[in-house]
Structure formats: structure tokens, C-alpha cells
Structure 1
Amino acid sequence: MSDPGKLFVYPGDVDGFGFDWGRLSLTVGPEVNGAKHFSGGVVDLPPGQGHSRHNHPGAEEIIFVISGNGEQMIEDEHGNPHVRQVGPGCTCFIPESRFHSTLNTSSAPMQLFVVYSPAGPELGLRELPDFRIIPAGN
């Protein structure tokens, strides 16, 4: 890679994906810095907000809780939901194509780092009706 600046990326350095429930700032991925096997970024969830039940066909996901507290649901291989309270330091693994959801249950912001493998599921978010671009630095 010829641009070392793309090896060190802060969430404010990139355009964010804005939604009614929060924001995703992709800090690694093919379109950001040429990552070939995964993509990821920082998710900011305001108090009481979260993303509804969804899945990523053909992709695994890791959710790491940076700050805040919330409720994480991950369905098992039979479609049964498993809900846990999660907080800073918790890593949640979502197996390929499994349905899941996250809700900030606290009165403070919740911040997550998410990783998708292979890269690509995050691009489908652009099709959601409440999707909007939040320019870098905002």
C-alpha cells in the first residue's frame, strides 16, 4: 500500500453511514484502505437506540463493546433467540447468516467496533430507507 495514511484511520476521518438508530463509520474495508478479507468500523448508538433484527447472508460478524451497556440478541442454529446484557470489553460472535440485534439500554451512548468477514455486508446498509451519508468530521 502506497498511502500509509490509510493504515491509521479514526472514525471522524471517513464519511459515516447515518441511520435513525445511530451511525456506522467504516474505518477498514476494500473501499477505505484496500482490506481484502474483512471490513469493519465504529458504531455509535444513542441511549435507547439500536438496530433491529437482521442478518448478513454468507458473512460472520464480530461485535466488540467499547463503551456503554446494552442488550445483544443472537439466534442459535435453530432460530432461538439468546439475549445477554453486554458492556465494555464484551466480544459477541455472530455466526454466518445468523439473525441478531443490538439495543443500547443505558442512559449514555454505546460504542461498538464491528467486523464483517468477508467484507461486503455493510454496503447493503445503503439500501435502508433511513440511510444517509454524514460527511467526515461531523
Structure 2
Amino acid sequence: MANDKYFIYPKDVSAFGFDWGKLSLTVGPEVNGASRFSGGVVELPSGEGHSRHNHPGAEEIIFVISGEGEQMVEDENGNPITRRVATGCTIYVPESRFHSTKNTGGGPMLLFVVYSPAGPETTLRDFPDFRLLPQGS
């Protein structure tokens, strides 16, 4: 159906798989033509997380759908600020700032992430542990 691009579940798209978890892009230029931002659902198994990284030229919003973990975001002086985060927390990552997330809970941690402008997610394909997971994985 033509309007399926407006209503997307993570199971409806292929996912970016990594040793630390996966990202299912549910909005963005490649998915539904969104041009000013991109985003999707990140799943982190218990004890896993992504290492410190940044997105040059882009801001990020991270919303904790479920689970709990530890989030680090650098301040304007490059000092790391680390906080415990849990279901319902929104994390703002300013443009080009380094950040990391680790699931410290007993079950999966689900996050919804938004990048503005769209594009930072495409560089994830260059990571050595990247693999494209088929739809429904």
C-alpha cells in the first residue's frame, strides 16, 4: 500500500546488527523520504552497549522506551557526564558531542533515537562489526 511509509514497525525494516545490539531505522530518507531527520529503535541486550562515539554535524535525541542503563554525554568542555537512565527518560546529545549508552538492567533496553539532520546512521555501515539483518530479525 502507498501509505505504508507513514506507519512503520521495527519488524517491517531490515536492521543494522552489531556485536552490542541492533538499530532498526523506521524513519529517514531511505525508509520513507524524511529529509530533515532520521531515527529508529535501538535494542541493547543486558550488559551490552555502544562505545563512546559522536555524530559530526548532527544532534541526537535518545528516548528510553524500556529498560535501564548508564548514559554518558560530554558537556561543552568535553567533560563526560554520566547518569543512570530508565524508562521515560529523554537524553539530548548536542551536535558532535561524544556519548555512550550501556544497558545495566536484567532485560533488553529499548531506545528510540532521532538524528538531525538525517545521515549519521549511514556511517554505522562502516563499523567493523556491522551486518545487515533481514526484515523481521
Q: TM-score range by the shorter chain?
A: over 0.9
Q: CA RMSD in A?
A: 0.8
**Equivalent residue, structure 2, for 1:79:** 78
Q: How many Å separate the matches in 2 of 1:41 and 1:20?
A: 18
Runs of 4+ residues over 6 Å off in structure 1: none
Q: How many Å separate the matches in 2 of 1:47 and 1:8?
A: 29
**Equivalent residue, structure 2, for 1:136:** 135
- CA deviation after TM superposition for structure 1 residue 3, in Å: 2.1
**Equivalent residue, structure 2, for 1:42:** 41
Q: Residue by residue, what CA displacement relative to the aligned partner does 1:49-102 show, whole Å, maximum 9, x if unpaired?
A: 000000000000000000000000000011100000000000000000000000
**Equivalent residue, structure 2, for 1:120:** 119
**Equivalent residue, structure 2, for 1:91:** 90
- CA deviation after TM superposition for structure 1 residue 107, in Å: 1.2
**Equivalent residue, structure 2, for 1:22:** 21
**Count of equivalent residues:** 137
Does residue 66 of structure 2 align to residue 67 of structure 1? Answer: yes
Q: Among the aligned pairs, what percent are the same residue?
A: 72
Which sections of structure 2, spanning at least 5 residues, go unmatched?
A: none
SS of the residue 1:51 aligns to: strand
Q: TM-score, normalised to structure 1's length?
A: 0.98
Q: TM-score, normalised to structure 2's length?
A: 0.99
**Equivalent residue, structure 2, for 1:54:** 53
Which sections of structure 1, spanning at least 5 residues, go unmatched?
A: none
Q: How many Å separate the matches in 1 of 2:119 and 2:2?
A: 22
